[in-house]
Structure 1
Amino acid sequence: MWTSIFIGIYVIVALSIVLSILLYGAKPTKSLAWLLAIFALPVGGIFLYLLLGRNRRRYKLIEHQKDLFRRMPKPNTDQINEFDGRYGKLMTLSYKNSHFPPTTGNELKILKDGRTTFETIFSALEAATTRIHIQYYIFEEGDLADRLLGLFQEKIAHGVAVRMIYDGIGSFSLSKKYLKKLLQIGVEVYSFMPFKFGRYFYSLNFRNHRKIIVVDGKIAFTGGINVSDKYLKGQIGLGKWHDMHLRLVGEAATQLDQVFMTDWYLVSTKLLKPIPLPQNAFQVPVANELVQIVAGGPDDDFPVLEQTYFSMINMAKNYIYITNPYIIPGQALVRALQTAALSGVDVRLLVSEKIDNQVVSWSVRSYFELFLKAGIKIYLFPDGFLHSKIMVSDDAVSSIGTANLDDRSFEQNYEVNAIMYHKKMAKLLKEDFLNDCKISNELCYNDYIKRSWGKKLKEGVGRVLSPLF
């Protein structure tokens, strides 16, 4: 009797999931894979689908919160006409996806590697007078976390509000003891979608990968660096972590603050308002150079960051240089990169030779032969773990942020990038990229195709498993 009941329940659940996949499946290949898994792996296939396979774009947990904040004006004619109107489509695309227009008058500073980045961050935090907003995917205990704890305590004693969001899985190692200390000194702290059996269990695979700090609503930081001592001391087996961050002062900082406030409402149900700033709050000596914040997540209507990268690649005329540890692109980006290279654009990829996950490394390398054959140059950075997420093109436009070139960043994570229509920044990032290439190992197509069958087999395994990363 109980067996019949169990089978009946299983059939009902399986059929409802199959119907959901057919109605709402995002990609035919993934939909077919999940259908096969459900029929080939009784119970296990359903469990894996509920855990990893649901199409979150249906649920809109964050998207509808954007309307709680004022809508920014559309990019105006003067902004679109800059660079001879060349990036008008990219500006419009980013605006329609994230509702943030490009802004002028921003002061930008590139921060390379952990020590420089954190000293600059602490300097800004120490000068805070009103509030501090801090959000990280990975927040690990150690010297940096202890220093932040002491600074937070000092600022709260002087009337500064401190709010913190950490990802429930990325910061899984964060101890209850440390969290208790934060609460005791007055930090408002929330976990983003902690792992729970119940309401958020189905969201285990959807993480908040953003790294944001905003001080007093006008100084902000974003990029690839997390709060971890491995940026200062290195990591056994990988060595020193290398990464790129960005300091922004100006309207772009207020846009990053709105991204934080959107996430804050989701985790706390508390509505924050932007700090009113005077008309002359951002008097910086920068003209005709634009910055646009692009934020996306799995409940947006479209894969925001994938479309941004795709557009930047397609718009490249002379060169497109990409630094990223996890280049596991979908078919559209593969074709975009190959088409650019075959059309005469100088396409170069800078990838870490060492990586923090061996299976992910196989997946990344599984694309190398396709890229090399199309004329794309690939450089392996040998000195530690290169974790930067940078794209720069034609001495005119560049991107620094949190998004990798993989399905996880495009389909499953909440990410944020700063797009800079800024010639000086583009040239600085290009120079840094070329300097890193000089100390890296360039791959040769004729040599790479001679790699062993064992390596090719590992790459095939990594390629098949890549949708799960």
Structure 2
Amino acid sequence: MQAKPWKFFLYAPEAWNALLESVRGAKNSIDFEQFIFADTPIGREFAEVFKKKSSEGVAVRLLCDTAGSYGFFNSQLHRELVGAGVNVVFFNHISPWRVHHMSLWIHRDHRKLAIIDGKEVFLGGVGINDNQRLWRDTHLSVTEISFIEQAVALFEAMWRTARDSRFAPFRGGLETRDGFNLVANAPKHGYRHIYYRYVNALRKARGYAYMTTPYFVPPRKFVRAACRAARRGVDVRILLPERSDNFYVDKAGEHLFHILFRSGVRVFRYRSSMLHAKTFVIDGAWASVGSANLDNICLRYNYEITALSSNREFAEAVKGHFLDDLTRSREVDPHEWARRPWIVKVIEFGASLFSEVF
């Protein structure tokens, strides 16, 4: 039996271990892009491996978002890596000297991408921070050649964007022989490819649409597509954490529940731990695993990356993870929800006023 060109990691430590193993075996190049790279034990473990590989002659490039990795940006660890020959670039600096660019600070590099020797790609939702150690997440490794070629091109475009402080155009992605497509988002008209693909997939759904996200404050077009799918008989389910790490984003999302319930969309809350996975599967024929949350920030304003696949075996695996997570979740009852205290409704409404930037 031919080995699958992909592998899932459902908790952060699983992804870290696989990443570290691959990085330790690198012979030529390590391209590592992270929204959060923290100066914590796991961040220092990665840093030590980067320094060692650099001393062996491996070309190591580390691309981090300034906001997400702000602690690392100002750390001794950052300076040690640069001193060891690691090429470190930060995206979209935040500085009082750049107040004339303040309106652009909202645009972040939220991607989590690693390419080792041009032979293996990692992507998904896992950051490099010990506070995620117990989180339920989904990360992915892929060894399909044309998928890796897409990843290399997208990393190079993002590297140029960060280094030159100027947007570098990229392609939307082409489907590979195994049905994989690496799709990226950028805060530019015509480049919100993940957002466009998600809305189009909901419009075409016929049987079911199962989505997992830590935060649910999507653009109105997405909400309308999900509700219309439910009204035409599609089994639309959204899985969220019982409580995320952002109270106000939770409340802004909950303000949408009555709209979802009215159309027949079902909402579930994961109870075991913080849920940070970003997956989407429709009709067993289309699935997504990546970095983009179902919120305005990710779908409209951030740089994001996701693996889309029409491979049915891959889609069934994503569906299986979703259904397994439901066994550790509770369904939100629309009738009970309608009876929540008025003060909660006021908080939800207040939070929803800022939904455009959540």
Q: TM above 0.5, one fold?
A: yes
1:119 positional shift:
0.9
Contact 2:184 2:192 in 1 (8 A): no
Count residues with an aligned counterpart.
Answer: 342
Q: In structure 1, what is the Cα distance between the partners aligned to 2:300 and 2:219? A: 11
**Paired amino acid for 1:180:** R
**Paired amino acid for 1:252:** F
| Cα deviation digits, residues 45-78 of structure 1 (max 9, x gap) | xxxxxxxxxxxxxxxxxxxxxxxxxxxxxxxxxx
Partner of 2:50: 152
Q: Which has the higher helix share?
A: 1
TM-score where L is the length of structure 2:
0.92
Partner of 2:107: 206
Q: Does 1:132 align with 2:26?
A: no
Contact 2:281 2:315 in 1 (8 A): yes
| Cα deviation digits, residues 382-441 of structure 1 (max 9, x gap) | 122101110001111100011111111122100111101111111111111111112111
Q: Does 1:228 align with 2:129?
A: yes
Partner of 1:63: none
Contact 1:320 1:348 in 2 (8 A): yes
Contact 2:216 2:250 in 1 (8 A): no
Cα RMSD (Å):
1.7
1:130 positional shift:
0.7
**Displacement over 6 Å in runs of 4+:** none
Instruction: Give the secondary-structure state (helix, strand or coil) at the position aligned to 1:409.
Output: helix
Partner of 2:170: none
Partner of 1:447: 336
Partner of 2:254: 365
TM-score where L is the length of structure 1:
0.70
1:374 positional shift:
1.2
Partner of 1:177: 76
Name which of 177, 199, 202 aligns with 1:310.
199
Name which of 283, 306, 309 aligns with 1:417.
306
Q: In structure 2, what is the Cα distance between the partners aligned to 1:194 and 1:460? A: 32
Q: In structure 1, what is the Cα distance between the partners aligned to 2:113 and 2:177? A: 25
Partner of 2:157: 262
Contact 1:106 1:252 in 2 (8 A): no
Contact 1:217 1:253 in 2 (8 A): yes
Contact 1:372 1:444 in 2 (8 A): no
Structure 1 spans left out of the alignment, 5+ residues: 1-104, 233-239, 271-286
1:156 positional shift:
1.3
1:205 positional shift:
1.2
1:132 positional shift:
0.3
Q: In structure 1, what is the Cα distance between the partners aligned to 2:275 and 2:290? A: 14
Q: In structure 1, what is the Cα distance between the partners aligned to 2:314 and 2:58? A: 33
Instruction: Give the secondary-structure state (helix, strand or coil) at the position aligned to 2:33.
Output: strand
Q: In structure 2, what is the Cα distance between the partners aligned to 1:302 and 1:192? A: 18
Structure 2 spans left out of the alignment, 5+ residues: 166-175
Equivalent runs, 1:330-409 vs 2, <5 Å: 330-409=219-298
Contact 1:193 1:200 in 2 (8 A): no
Equivalent runs, 1:27-66 vs 2, <5 Å: none
1:264 positional shift:
1.1
